[in-house]
């Protein structure tokens, strides 16, 4: 049962990503990507890591995708000129994907993935998750966060306003 659900969810994620890549409208693409991220969160939940699933939704669907949407809405003036795609059934892929995700979520809540057996071996409690993150793989996490910090500093440097030059021109 759990294995079957795993493949269904994986198919949903792949479908959502494919649809995301082929959209003309960037906002629609972001929405499909949100579907894919939800699918991933459900996969994490299925594999026994509810904490990771929650963080996936909070960070990726809730923050990073909103930033994507923000940037698209901010920098793409063509968006207003673009003709909205017509067609009676263009809600079908979205409807299908959200419906399938909701159904999978429902099944996941009803059944206990651990008891169903198959690919799920253990459930990760928040405590174990924290231990693994900051104890066992602490060094790797620190290195990654340093890289992110460098990237942030670099972006800040590139985006800095050059006051002197503007005055000269």
Partner 1 sequence: MNDVLLTIILIVLKLGLVLGTVLTMAAYMVLAERKILGRMQMRYGPNRVGWGGMLQPLADLIKLLSKEDLIPEGADRWIFMLAPAISTATALLAFAVIPFGPSVQLFGRTVPLVICDLDIGVLYLFALSSLAVYGVALGGWASQSKYSLLGGLRAMAQMISYELAMGLAIAPVVMASRSFSLTAVVEAQQTLPNMVRHPLAFLIFLVAVMAESKRIPFDMPEAENELVAGYHTEYSGMRFGMFFVGEYLNLIVLGSMLTVLFLGGWYGPLLPGVCWFLIKVLGVAFFFIWVRGTLPRLRYDQLMAFGWKVLVPLGLLNLLITAAWMIWRG
Rule CB under 8 A: is residue 90 a binding residue for partner 1?
yes
For the CB of residue 58, give the shortest distance to partner 1 in the complex, in Å. Answer: 5
**Between 95 and 118, CB nearer to partner 1:** 95
Half-sphere exposure of 59 (CA within 13 A, CB side): 8
Q: Are 5 and 106 in contact (CB under 8 A)?
A: no
Rule CB under 8 A: is residue 91 a binding residue for partner 1?
yes
Contact region for partner 1 (CB under 8 A) — 3-11, 58-66, 114-122, 144-152? 58-66
From CA 158, how far away is CA 139, in angstroms rounded?
29
Q: Residues 15, 61, 100, 101: which binds partner 1 (CB under 8 A)?
A: 61
Contact region for partner 1 (CB under 8 A) — 11-19, 87-95, 114-122, 134-142? 87-95
Selection from 11, 48, 51, 38 nearest residue 105 by Cα:
38
Q: Which pair of structure tokens corresponds to residue 53?
A: 């699933």
Element holding 160 (H helix, E strand): none
Q: φ, ψ for residue 23 (rounded to 5)?
A: -75, 145
Q: Residues 33, 51, 101, 104: which binds partner 1 (CB under 8 A)?
A: 51
Q: Which pair of structure tokens corresponds to residue 39?
A: 């699918």
Contact region for partner 1 (CB under 8 A) — 7-15, 49-57, 99-107, 146-154? 49-57
Tokens 């263009």 locate to 90
Selection from 97, 104, 96, 91 nearest residue 41 by Cα:
104
Rule CB under 8 A: is residue 21 a binding residue for partner 1?
no
Binding site for partner 1 (CB under 8 A): 27, 31, 34, 50-51, 54-55, 57-58, 61-63, 66-67, 69-70, 73-74, 80, 84, 90-91, 94, 125-126
């Amino acid at each position: 049962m759990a294995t079957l659900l795993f493949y269904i969810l994986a198919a949903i994620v792949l479908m959502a990503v494919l649809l995301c890549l082929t959209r003309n409208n960037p906002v629609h693409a972001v929405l499909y990507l949100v579907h894919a991220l939800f699918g991933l969160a459900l996969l994490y939940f299925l594999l026994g890591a509810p904490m990771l699933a929650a963080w996936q939704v909070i960070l990726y669907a809730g923050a990073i995708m909103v930033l994507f949407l923000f940037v698209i809405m901010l920098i793409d003036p063509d968006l207003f000129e673009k003709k909205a795609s017509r067609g009676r059934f263009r809600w079908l892929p979205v409807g299908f994907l959200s419906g399938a995700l909701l159904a999978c979520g429902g099944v996941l809540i009803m059944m206990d993935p651990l008891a169903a057996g198959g690919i799920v071996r253990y459930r990760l409690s928040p405590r174990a998750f924290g231990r693994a993150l900051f104890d066992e793989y602490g060094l790797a996490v620190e290195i990654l966060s340093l890289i992110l910090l460098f990237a942030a500093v670099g972006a800040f440097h590139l985006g800095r306003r050059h006051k002197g030059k503007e005055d000269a021109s």
